[in-house]
Amino acid sequence: MKYLVTGGAGFIGSALCHRLMAAPDAQVTVVDKMTYAANPASLAPFEGQGRFRLVKADICDQTRMMELALADAPDVIFHLAAETHVDRSIDGADAFVQTNLVGTFAMLQAARGLHERKGGSGVRFVHVSTDEVFGSLGAEGHFDEATAYDPSSPYSATKAGADHLARAWHRTYGLPVMVSNCSNNYGPRQFPEKLIPLMVLNALEGLKLPIYGDGSNVRDWLHVEDHADALVRIAEAGVPGESYTVGGNSEKTNLEIVRLVCQLLDERRPLSAPHGDLMTFVADRPGHDLRYAIDASKIGRELGWAPSRDFAQGLADTVDWYIANEAWWRPLRETVYAGQRLGKVGA
């Protein structure tokens, strides 16, 4: 099988590449602009392997994406490239509108060109999206595939728009598009501006652990390797035109997450005082959604996927991964992320 993965040098894209490359006959081409969020170290194990290629390119370059799709002729396009950090989208949405909307348009056009070249079959497009497109839940209920779109942030609004483009390219042009809307991912190789790595790395360095508002915002957490499994399953067996909500059945408040991280580090790297003493509450994020939760019964029923990793174990493994892989994160902390580590608390 031949795969094209956009955003493959990012957090989820690189986990997906590891999952795909585990099959000895898989050929993987990554298209990535290598923004601040990309880390070539995440793909280092595949360097020099003839069946893996990293193309540094901007998905907004429609001509280049069309040429690449036609030349590579993948069986599956996994579209993950995006600007992903909510706080950055609030500070400036330009890159989000460009990449998430214009870039998705370019990828859909490229896939459509290939689809037509192949005579109307032979390429499947997995559009990777987020549960944030649905807005906020109250204390009860879950998002599912029938939930109305109601995005709150510039990030989620651009992802919602991209989802609509993807669906329209199925309905209008017959492109076999499947959309996944997944909850918060955690695991190895996540850029250290996101909640869990930020807390782990700040705690390891004895820095403040900033928590938005009172920390009561609830997110559902899914291990990134479970997400990669779900994306592969959707590529294999998903029904074109359908959406799948994907989640981990692990609802946690942000405060619970930070407390768990602190407990794990108290055991592994004890300080003179508990790591919990580093917690500090900061002004809430504007438009901060209260609660996300996922009903993933459709993908379970129709595609036989369910999350397999236990959250407590997965979080402990993630903390251990960051402790063991300072060479992966240290350059990011010292360069692109320097100076921002105290102010931003994103998931």
Catalytically active residues, by annotation: 131-132, 155
CB of 128 to ligand NAD, least distance (A): 5
What Rg do the C-alpha atoms of the chain give, in angstroms? 19
Compare residues 278 and 307 and give the one whose CB is closer to ligand NAD: 307
Nearest-5° Cα angle at 61, 47 to 107: 80
Nearest residue to ligand NAD by CB is 10
Taking residue 298's Cβ as centre, other Cβ atoms within 10 Å add up to 17
CB of 142 to ligand NAD, least distance (A): 16
> Where on the chain is the footprint of ligand NAD (CB under 6 A)?
6-7, 9-13, 31-35, 37-38, 58-60, 80-84, 99, 103, 128-130, 159, 182, 184-185, 191
Helix (H, G, I), strand (E, B) or coil at 206: coil
Compare residues 27 and 181 and give the one whose CB is closer to ligand NAD: 181
CB of 56 to ligand NAD, least distance (A): 9
CB of 121 to ligand NAD, least distance (A): 26
Distance CA 78, CA 74 (A): 10
CB of 39 to ligand NAD, least distance (A): 8
Nearest-5° Cα angle at 45, 12 to 83: 25
Compare residues 87 and 278 and give the one whose CB is closer to ligand NAD: 87
CB 127 within 8 A of CB 166: yes
Compare residues 232 and 278 and give the one whose CB is closer to ligand NAD: 232
Compare residues 31 and 278 and give the one whose CB is closer to ligand NAD: 31
The DSSP result for 42-95, as a single string, is: GGGGGTT-TTEEEEE--TT-HHHHHHHHHHH--SEEEE------HHHHHH--HH
Both tokens of residue 107?
């990828």
Helices of type H across the chain: 11-21, 62-72, 86-91, 94-96, 104-117, 154-173, 195-204, 224-237, 254-268, 297-303, 311-324, 326-334
